[in-house]
Amino acid sequence: MEIEIQLTPGPIAENISPPPSLGAVGAWLEFRGVVRKEENEQTISALEYEAYPDMAAREIRRILESLGVKFPCQAAKVIHRVGVIPVGETAIYVGVASPHRGEAIALLAEFMDQLKQDVPIWKRRALSINPIRDDMRSLTPAPKESETPHVVSCKSLDEALAEIRSHGQPLPAVRAPLAEAFGHILRETVCAPSDFPDGDRSTRDGYAILQNDASGIFQVVDTLHAADWKPRRLKPGEAVRMATGAALPCENLRVLMQEHVERDGDNIRITKREAALNLRQRGEDVKAGQPLVPAGARLDAGRLALLAAAGCAQPLVAPRLRVVHFTTGNEIVPPDQTPRPGQVRDSNSILIRGLLQKFPCDVVQAHLPEDFEVAKQLVSTFNFQPSTFNLLLISGGAGVGDKDFTRPLLEWLGFEIVFSQVNIRPGRPLIFGITGGASVLASQLVGSLAPPDRVRMAFGLPGNPLSHFVCFHLFVAAALAKLTGAEPEIFRRGRLAAKLDDPPCPRETLWPARRGPAGLHPLAWASSGDVTCLRETNALIWVPVNRGPIESGTEVEFLSTD
Amino acid sequence: MRILFFAQLKDATGCDSAELAPPAPLNAEQLWAELLTKFPRLAAHRASVRLANNCEYAAPDAVFGAEDEVAMIPPVSGG
């Protein structure tokens, strides 16, 4: 039997056909399970489903295969939607093809019974609300980004990124109080628990009347201040004094601006009629059940405020990361020292620390001497031991021999090297390694009591600062996104505001640029040793292999670095 | 050993997963003992939770090793 299984966060298509490879089948039986408007005797607006996707797909396949023996069918297609599903929309679709209807009907019936017993999918919660008014205007869709997201098509850069993304898994999520969640990655989509605003609210100081009340004179029957909640039905000819922001006493009202009426004791007379309703309608900002902040989003001040407004006081977020960063090489001296001839000041330590600021993390930094044996000794007698860590970064020195140093050190620490070169400039000698837990490092550096996280990642970064900058934004950021469950940064399209004057190069190039209102300005840059362009860089332009000079006005792909 | 929590078990534990580093493979009884020490609120769910090992329901005599992905499956409600 041909089997197709999908778990999808989006709506399930209206029309689904049997697999074309079957040709004409005798029966194509379709079933759609739809979200009911009542759940446990409550009126609801949506159901939120959760799945253990790998196992769910496996269980569905197992059930179908065993039923296929009992009821010979040609094909089965199962699509289960997960996440928030509004009332009336399809939660599960099953299509079964067979030569005659009997087998398909029998298989479908047994399949649904077994699915409800064994497949790890859950109705996580019902989003319940009062019915929403029919005349609610539809919400405007979110504005589209002017720069279209685009995945880099270049193979070797793609390959390196794919390798990084295929290793490891997001660290276990934790619940954190809002005050401690700033900058963390949200790991569970938070939906609006109720309509915002939760009822019609006045946007003016004035008088509420029935929307189609044609009276000229009204009796003022009540006064409402901003925090008042006094529901009542208005009759024609009645008005309620409203303060700006106050909740209207019932639905289908409008607010007359106080400037447009004359008041005489308990009565008002309209002096000017206008079309505006002067109110914020219930659910105008967001309706109950709609996603407020999606999983994978970085929690900035605005999003945290939104979570607070939704009553999500302990969001599920990625934990604080622990990062160890070693610099290497005898030619490196601290910034406050004067380098002797042949030496340079260490700018990479502060660069890495700065770049890591975007991710909540604890960073431990140390300098390793160039002699491998001494370095190993230092690493194993580390006197500022973190209990454990998630990411190891080693900055190669600019001196001779550093390339041979990082790799053996990583291997000695128990890392498996996944790749050690990427065909890009700057940043070609990039090393990426992973380790599964038990390693020399785990026992010697970390101590054996702390449970190790399942996978750690390590990068050997080529020595100069610009290579660090490029490799961090391309590769380390991808690893951090993987570990935290963040939406990965993506290349976008933009236009050159000036010519990018570069002869054809056999490597893909990440060209430093300044992104401004007029487009992308390529910055002066001749070799990976140049550092002054770091002052202005806020984007990296991707230049394909052998592309050569690119004229001003040409559309290019770039990665934002600010 | 990675332990995954789903649905109401996420609320009970306050997290979606946890890492255990048992010195030797555990049977179901020993695994529960470890988990209940770490997450006492799981106790209320014990009777209804099924264990899965690497995406398959575990047999009563299954053992769970350091490299396994173990899922705590509360009663399902898909469809």
3-state per-residue secondary structure call for A208-235: EEECCCCCCEEEEEEEECCCCCCCCCCC
- Kindly state whether A53 is in contact with chain B, defined as any CB-CB distance less than 8 angstroms: no
Measured between CA atoms, the residue of chain A closest to residue B3 is: A172
Q: How confident is the model at residue A142 (pLDDT cuts 50, 70, 90)?
A: very low
Whole-number pLDDT of residue A452: 42
A517 in any annotated domain = yes
A426 in any annotated domain = yes
Which residues in chain A have their CB less than 8 angstroms from residue B65's CB? none
**CA atoms of A67 and A65, how far apart (whole Å):** 6
A137 in any annotated domain = no
Among the candidates A220, A255, A280, a domain finishes at A280
Q: Which range among A73-82, A200-209, B8-17 shows the weakest confidence by mean pLDDT?
A: B8-17
How long, in residues, is chain B? 79
Q: Is the pLDDT of residue B39 over 80?
A: yes
Same domain, A418 and A274: no
* Average confidence (pLDDT) over A259-279: 93
Helix (H) / strand (E) containing B18 = strand B17-19
Same domain, A72 and A113: yes
- Kindly state whether B43 is in contact with chain A, defined as any CB-CB distance less than 8 angstroms: no
Q: Is the pLDDT of residue A401 over 90?
A: no
B78 in any annotated domain = no
CA distance A453 to chain B (A): 7
Which residues in chain A have their CB less than 8 angstroms from residue B77's CB? 116, 121-123
Contact between A175 and B17 using a beta-carbon 8 Å cutoff = no
Same domain, A411 and A524: no
Q: Which of A107-111, A335-339, A427-431, A446-450 has the highest mean pLDDT?
A: A107-111
Give me chain A's average pLDDT, please. 84
Which residues in chain A have their CB less than 8 angstroms from residue B74's CB? 122
Name the more confident of B15 and B52: B52
Question: Which single residue is written with the structure tokens 């309703």?
Answer: A277
Question: CATH number, domain at A506?
Answer: 2.40.340.10
* Average confidence (pLDDT) over B25-29: 94
A288 in any annotated domain = no
Q: How confident is the model at residue A119 (pLDDT cuts 50, 70, 90)?
A: very high
CA distance B14 to chain A (A): 6
- Kindly state whether A517 is in contact with chain B, defined as any CB-CB distance less than 8 angstroms: no
Same domain, A448 and A325: yes
Percent of chain A whose predicted confidence (pLDDT) is above 90: 49
* Average confidence (pLDDT) over A454-468: 84
Name the more confident of A439 and A19: A19
Question: Which single residue is written with the structure tokens 């029309």?
Answer: A15
Q: Is the pLDDT of residue A101 over 60?
A: yes
Question: CATH number, domain at B18?
Answer: 3.10.20.30
Amino acid residing at A357: Q
Tell which residue, A394, A402, A341, has the closest CA to residue A371: A402
B48 in any annotated domain = yes
Which string of DSSP letters, residue by residue, matches A376-411? Answer: HHHHHT-SS--S--SEEEEEPPSSTTHHHHHHHHHH
Q: How confident is the model at residue A194 (pLDDT cuts 50, 70, 90)?
A: confident
Q: Is the pLDDT of residue A210 over 50?
A: yes
* Cβ count near A334 (within 10 Å): 11
Q: How confident is the model at residue A139 (pLDDT cuts 50, 70, 90)?
A: very low
Q: Helix, strand or coil for residue A415?
A: coil
A511 in any annotated domain = yes
B70-to-A352, A466, B50, B65, B75 alpha-carbon distances in Å:
36, 43, 10, 9, 16
Whole-number pLDDT of residue A92: 96
Among the candidates A421, A455, A484, a domain finishes at A484
Whole-number pLDDT of residue A155: 39
Structural domain tally of chain B? 1
A428 in any annotated domain = yes
**CA atoms of A260 and A278, how far apart (whole Å):** 12
Amino acid residing at A541: I
**CA atoms of A245 and A201, how far apart (whole Å):** 6
- Kindly state whether B73 is in contact with chain A, defined as any CB-CB distance less than 8 angstroms: yes
A94 in any annotated domain = yes
- Read off the pLDDT of residues A324-381 as tens digits, 9 standing for 90 and up: 898 887 778 888 888 888 888 889 999 999 999 988 998 888 888 777 787 777 777 5
Same domain, A472 and A434: yes
Q: Which range among A198-212, A314-328, A441-455, B18-32 shows the weakest confidence by mean pLDDT?
A: A441-455
Whole-number pLDDT of residue A367: 85
B28 in any annotated domain = yes
A151 in any annotated domain = no
Same domain, A109 and A237: no
* Average confidence (pLDDT) over A486-496: 91
Domain coverage including residue A98: 2-128
Q: Which of A164-173, A296-305, A362-371 has the highest mean pLDDT?
A: A296-305
Whole-number pLDDT of residue A262: 95
Same domain, A549 and A511: yes
CA distance B17 to chain A (A): 5
* Average confidence (pLDDT) over B23-39: 93
Same domain, A329 and A426: yes
Torsion sign over Cα A91, A303, A350, A171: negative
B51 in any annotated domain = yes
- Read off the pLDDT of residues A217-249 as tens digits, 9 standing for 90 and up: 999 999 999 888 888 999 999 999 999 999 999
Q: Which range among A235-239, A335-339, A532-536, B52-56 shows the weakest confidence by mean pLDDT?
A: A335-339
Residue A301 region, left (φ>0) first, then alpha (ψ -120 to 50), else beta?
A: alpha
Contact between B18 and A50 using a beta-carbon 8 Å cutoff = no
Same domain, A325 and A461: yes
B60 in any annotated domain = yes
Q: Is the pLDDT of residue A264 over 60?
A: yes
- Kindly state whether A36 is in contact with chain B, defined as any CB-CB distance less than 8 angstroms: no
CA distance A199 to chain B (A): 30
Chain A, chain B: beta-carbon pairs less than 8 Å apart: 85
Same domain, A353 and A409: yes
Q: Helix, strand or coil for residue A562?
A: coil
Question: Biggest alpha carbon distance in chain B?
Answer: 40
Same domain, A499 and A433: no
- Read off the pLDDT of residues A79-100 as tens digits, 9 standing for 90 and up: 999 988 888 889 999 999 999 9
Task: Answer for the pair A379, A372: CB distance below 8 angstroms, yes or no.
Answer: no
CA atoms within 13 A on the CB side of A289: 21
Same domain, A119 and A244: no
Among the candidates A280, A298, A329, a domain finishes at A280
Nearest to B73 among A120, A187, A316 (CB): A120
B37 in any annotated domain = yes
SS (H, E, C) A177-196: CHHHCCCCEECCCEECCCCE
Whole-number pLDDT of residue A381: 58
* Average confidence (pLDDT) over A537-558: 93
Domain coverage including residue B33: 2-73
Q: Is the pLDDT of residue A511 over 90?
A: yes
Whole-number pLDDT of residue A253: 94
Structural domain tally of chain A? 4
- Kindly state whether A547 is in contact with chain B, defined as any CB-CB distance less than 8 angstroms: no
